[in-house]
Amino acid sequence: MSYPTLFTTPGMRQLAEEIDAERQAQLDRWGVQLHPVLDSRDIPAATHHYYAGRADIWRQVNAERATPSRTVARCTGHPDGDHTHTAWDGILLEEVYEALAEPDPAKRRVELVQVMAVCAAIIAADDSREA
């Protein structure tokens, strides 16, 4: 059964349909999977702490990249003068590590929705460059 869905962000309906199709393919191939978020052999406090540390590293990288600077020797395609070096890899990794660091399922869900939104933004950016 199909339900009408209203998306306000351009391209989201198609993306949601693609995600739904992929999710269905996963279910068809592997069935319902109820894996734990962390390996049961891990010590949750240590693992969450590790992921929190990784999130902090990427937060620092992203802050540095977002600070306008001029690195002409390594930059191509940027305007003259100071400019930022923000990139999707750091944004996505920061969000993923924040989600993995969160022990509370409700808060982790919020973080994972943010991961999905960043993935959607990366896809939209790639699609706009291909157009």
Residue pLDDT, tens place only, 78-110:
667 777 888 999 999 999 999 999 999 999 999
As a whole number of angstroms, the distance between CA 8 and CA 117 comes to 14
Specify the residue for token string 């240590």. Answer: 46
Cβ partners under 8 Å of residue 120, min gap 6:
9, 11, 12, 15
Query: pTM to 2 decimals?
Result: 0.81
Residues in the chain: 131
Q: State how far the Cα of 95 lies from the Cα of 59, in Å rounded to an integer.
A: 9
Measured distance CA(60)–CA(43) in Å, rounded: 26
**What does the pLDDT look like over 11-38, one tens digit per residue?**
899 999 999 999 999 999 999 998 888 8
How far apart CA 96 and CA 112 sit, in angstroms, is: 7
pLDDT reading at 56 higher than 80: yes
